[in-house]
Amino acid sequence: MADHDVIVIGAGFTGLTAAVNLIEAGLDVIIIEARNRVGGRVESEYLPSGIRIDTGGQFLCRDMTHLMETVQRYGARTVFSHVEGEQSYRPAISPERGETIWNAVERLREEMLALDMTDPALARLTVGQWIDRQTEIPADVTGSFRRLVKGLWCRAPEEVALAYLVSNDRRITNVYPELEMFLGDTMHGLAEKLAESLGDRLRLSAPATSITMMEDMAEVDVEGRALTARQVILAVPPVMARRIEISPPLPDQLCKALAAWEPGCAIKLQVGYQRPFWRDRNLSGSVMWSDPQGMYACDASHDTYAGIVVFLGGPLASLWHKKPQAELAAFVTAELAMALGEEAKHPASVNIRDWVNDAWSDGAYSDVITDIDATDAEAVLLQGMPRLNFACSELSPSFPGYVEGAIVAGKNAAQSVLQILRK
């Protein structure tokens, strides 16, 4: 007989949500996590001043209803992002020109979303190839669209499968800005609150190395120690799932579905200041870079902290990953000085979190499908196999790649496991 009803592998928001839901439904669950903390791609650090900052997933908006519900349930405090004031551009362009380009990029994005992906002319295309076909559209607009892909999906458009991006972006349905708010005690603090109810059912520093599928149970090997359960939820991103040895070997279709993904490349900087000096110049603190592509900044200040968060995504993050962090800090503060004012050169704190090749996620914000033939990869993974369920934000029917997506994926995985076990 199996030791447990369910083993959940991974204590990110997907795994935590699945575990909490299954325990509340009365099942015997164990959740194992490779890192020595919960949260996965949501994590935090304390600055020397004692302020806690999110170094991974941070922002949310009202459209993310499952996350908002979790925020309310655990009594987390939301802080609205400061958006008043003018948007800055690097290199500098007039606000009018910036807005015109941005509106044209949004129209191009709408066109992409409306594509009929059953059209054979769109088969086996990368996003880059599709952009190249938009010859009627001004170069600064297509250039900004490439920047958007690098910044949000954190890979070069030439690598990303068009069918994947269309399907993924159709599920990101927010009407409010996605950076609308964040949590005063960090998103990571919310992950910790979810974990509190798990007690000793949560095991940290417990990486799953292999899974053996048996007749009526599955055995998960945690560094030489075996745990068994009737069902396993593999709540890790696809690139991490393929590192776990599974025997007997997965069917070809599942192997191909797992092989279709590559991790995004992202670096997040939190640059703290004595005060939000940019507001004196009526600047919002939001900066869009068209050169280099894949860089974006915004104001992440709250009552006890003044600061700008800077994201580097795609090839730019890969490039800086290879260079000393002190050089990156100097580059970013110099860029911020040109956008927001000379004071930016004198930060009170600079925190750099490089997610490229991260030990337990291999990247961020999300894995993306780069195999142009893998149009059924998500469906195949969601189908899983008897006793083995794949779940992660990437596979969510809504807000894939976001914390909201992880919560939805966790709830759905718990639901389908419950249905199987109650049959």
Give residues in contact with ligand FAD (CB under 6 A): 9-15, 32-35, 40-42, 56-60, 207-208, 235-237, 240, 244, 266, 268, 355, 360-361, 364-366, 392-393, 401-406
Say if CB 33 and CB 15 are below 8 A apart. Answer: yes
Residue positions forming the annotated binding site for FAD: 14, 33-34, 394
Choice between 10 and 347, CB closer to ligand FAD: 10
For the residues of 16-81, what is the DSSP string, one character each?
HHHHHHHHHTT--EEEE-SSSSSBTT--EEE-TTS-EEESS---B-TT-HHHHHHHHHTTPPEEEP
Smaller CB separation from ligand FAD, 160 or 208:
208
> Binding site: what residues are annotated?
14, 33-34, 311, 394
The CA distance from 368 to 366, in Å, is: 6
Q: How far is the CB of 46 from ligand FAD (least distance, A)?
A: 17
Nearer to ligand FAD, 131 or 353 (CB): 353
- The least CB distance from residue 392 to ligand FAD, in Å, is 4
CA 187, distance to chain mean position in Å, is 13
In the complex, the smallest distance separating the C-beta of residue 279 from ligand FAD, rounded to whole angstroms, is: 22
Least distance in Å: CB of 95 to ligand FAD?
A: 25
Tokens of 84: 């008043």
Q: Are 273 and 306 in contact (CB under 8 A)?
A: yes
φ, ψ of residue 129 to 5 degrees: the values are -65, -35
Closer Cβ to ligand FAD, 141 or 218, answer by number? 218
Q: CB 38 → ligand FAD: shortest distance, Å?
A: 7
339-343 long-range contacts, Cβ below 8 Å, gap at least 24? Answer: 339/88, 339/89, 339/90, 339/92, 339/283, 339/287, 339/297, 340/88, 340/277, 340/278, 340/281, 340/283, 340/285, 340/287, 340/308, 341/277, 341/278, 341/281, 341/283, 343/273, 343/277
**Nearest distance from C-beta of residue 372 to ligand FAD, angstroms:** 23
CB of 394 to ligand FAD, least distance (A): 7
- State the residue for tokens 């191909």: 256
> Would you say 352 or 372 has its CB closer to ligand FAD?
352
Nearest Cα residue to 168 out of 286, 260, 57: 260
Q: Which is nearer to ligand FAD, 82 or 268 (CB)?
A: 268
Distances (CA, A) of 331 to 156, 293, 408: 22, 14, 38
Report, in Å, the least distance between residue 410 CB and ligand FAD.
7
Query: What residue numbers does the annotated binding site for substrate cover?
Result: 311
| Contact in structure between 281 and 323 (CB atoms under 8 Å) | no
Q: For the residues of 217-266, what is the DSSP string, one character each?
A: -EEEEETTEEEEEEEEEE-S-HHHHTTSEEESPPPHHHHHHHHTEEE--E
- Name the residue nearer to ligand FAD (CB basis): 344 or 391: 391
By beta-carbon proximity to ligand FAD, the closer residue of 17 and 293 is 17
